[in-house]
Chain A
């Protein structure tokens, strides 16, 4: 089966660092994706990992351990505009490329 788990909600302070964890179980793993979603809007792509290790992209970094079925998204120098939901998604191959989303983590950034 497929299972993706993330914390439901997190709170952090402006300027701080926050780490959002994601664990997954799936067959045909073909990449781990992080998306940002503001309320009422579409998800927007943040990062992608297919090999183990850390990918850095400005204030955002994402880490993957395939053997542990684990990823995290690290957000540095938090800004108020980072208040949003962060969605972990696994892409798997089974004849096609299918994206399975976690429930998302709602991040509140406080002044």
Chain B
């Protein structure tokens, strides 16, 4: 069964460093998402991506964040200068199109900023 994959599963970084989180969505899916979940809190929408561009972003998704789909398969989230409060699980998700109900989540990347 097709699945969304994410790498790495864990990332530890120093405050101020750049991190890139990688995702491979399901190949025939058209809509891509990044979410963040701080430990013990709710899943928060960060950004949606469709037709090779950002379609919506939340107030969390400030200038420190960027997304790319560089080669038609990978979907990356970059945090330019990490802060302590960026420590969270980051989930990538993909949706084939809205007539399909299920949004598939990747297993997540746990980011720890020291």
Contact = CB atoms under 8 A, between A and B. Distances in A.
Q: Is the interface of B mostly helix, strand, loop or mixed?
A: strand
A99 interface: yes
Size category of the B interface is 20 to 34
Interface stretch (A9-17, A19-27, A68-76, A90-98): A90-98
A99 B43 CA distance: 10
A100 interface: yes
Contacts, number: 56
Interface stretch (B12-20, B70-78, B103-111): B103-111
Dominant SS among interface residues on chain A: strand
Interface residues of A, number: 25
B103 A96 contact: no
A41 B33 contact: no
Interface in A66-111: 87, 89, 91, 93-104
A102 B55 CA distance: 22
Contact of A103 (B31, B41, B105): B41
Interface of B: 31, 33, 35, 41-45, 48, 50, 55-56, 91, 95, 98, 101-108
Interface of A: 30-31, 33, 37, 41-45, 48, 87, 89, 91, 93-104
